[in-house]
Amino acid sequence: MKIDYLLSGDPRERRKIDELKGEIECVSDEVKVYEERVSFWEVRHSEIVINGNKAIHLALPYSPVTALKGLLIESPIECGPGRILIDRNESIEMIYYNILLAKERGCEAVLLTKVRKAVSVSPPYLQDGPSLPPLPLAWINYPVKRGYHIELNLDTRVRNSSSLSLHAIKHGNERRVLLVTKHDNWLSEDQTYFHVFNLFKKLNSKTNNQWELLSMSGTESGSPGFSSLFWNYVPRILSPKFSDISLIIELKRGNGEIRRSPGTKSAHLDQNLIEPSSISFEFLREGVPSVVYDINDNWLQSRDSFDHIFKLIQKHSSLDFHFSFTQMINDLIYDYIILPPELKSILVNLENVNINELKPFFKLFGRYLYLPGTMKYALFHHLVSIRKSHLYEHVFAEGYPAFHIRRHESMNSSYISELDRATTEKYMDTIYYMLHELL
């Protein structure tokens, strides 16, 4: 199987899907293809000239059409018309923090020197819907310094396209176990999907499980309208189709850790929780438990490592994973303890309710991002972000429109108090409606 690095919606994706189907049709009872509308970004021509010399570079999604001349600067404080910011950070969160400052202070573009691939989006971050067009963003391989002259020319295009996701099924018992991977991998250069297909071919449908495979596109990019929540667009659309899955096993490139959904517990798994950027997070909001293998690049280079992962999949798929609100509170205790008493009491009273009846509550999970800092998730994430806003310069919470609080705004006690009260009441109304539907 040939490894191609594709952005979601790439015209070559249809050929990739045909190739993937050919790999597993002979061992599958059903093969389905899901087609979803996405935005496909492409660069037709790009050129960066620094002090008269052409620079090796890479134009990055979703950079707009650009033709500008200016001076390079190294601090957002210096931003203004005709200024292009050099970003030497290795942390993606710090890059987005500097993009935020560059946008607010009038810089016309951002150049990365350490991180080679990223997506350019505009604040507010975590906006699950159309966002303002972003700044031009590019990676350069050139010894740049403050005060250098730069010419930046980008001829890019964003157009509607289709992402294609492949779903294969080996008929078996009622307990459905879904292997999840992705094949739009231009940003991450993640080759794990190649090995996941080989693992799926080896799994035996005569066990207690019905084995299924879902290889998705629209995971690294593709959200229409320059959405600043640019990843996992298609998983958010497709996840409701899989709400009755017993267990998700997601395999992706990582540091070798194994992670689990919050609220699940097993003596065979440690306390590492799934990440907010994972595909599994979208399935969490459907009430589906998951295990995520962060596959080290060296893991699958030998037959012994492949066999080890295969045995892990067999082992974890045989475990009885169930959600527990008690375990969920323990897993997310630092966010739980800052919730108002009325919300805490509801969660405590739900501990003995059948978890399958409480699946609508999982939709109350959401991401929040603080800058400078990192991204997390929580139940009642809008409220958690409000109550932590005094600690950080900027806090964003997922939604449409996205929530954004600046530190100086959080110092206005009257504003924050009223925002806190209104948000709590909104959550309480939502919960009472859910409970009414259940009873």
- What is the full per-residue pLDDT of the chain (439 aa) written as tens digits? 556 789 999 999 999 999 999 999 999 999 999 999 999 999 999 999 999 999 999 999 999 999 999 999 999 999 999 999 999 999 999 999 999 999 999 999 999 999 999 999 999 999 999 999 999 999 999 999 999 999 999 999 999 999 999 999 999 888 899 999 999 999 999 989 989 999 999 997 667 789 999 999 999 999 999 999 999 999 999 999 999 999 999 999 988 889 999 998 877 777 799 999 999 999 999 999 999 999 887 766 666 688 888 988 988 888 877 788 888 888 999 999 999 999 988 887 777 777 777 888 899 999 999 999 999 999 999 999 999 999 999 999 999 999 999 988 878 889 999 999 999 999 999 998 888 777 6
Q: Where are the beta strands (DSSP E) in 55-119?
A: 56-59, 66-73, 83-87, 109-112
* Structure token digits, residue 171: 């008929």
Domains and CATH numbers, the chain: 13-40+160-317 (3.40.630.10), 42-157 (3.50.30.30), 325-438 (no CATH)
pLDDT confidence of residue 270: 74
pLDDT confidence of residue 346: 82
pLDDT confidence of residue 256: 84
Burial status of residue 104 (CB atoms within 10 A of its CB: 0-12, 13-18, 19 or more): exposed
Measured CA to CA, the distance from residue 437 to residue 237 in angstroms comes to 23
Q: Answer whether 0.85 is exceeded by the pTM.
A: yes
Measured CA to CA, the distance from residue 55 to residue 142 in angstroms comes to 6
DSSP 274: P
Q: Within a 13 Å sphere around the CA of 169, how many CA atoms are in the beta-carbon half?
A: 14
Q: Are 406 and 307 in contact (CB under 8 A)?
A: no
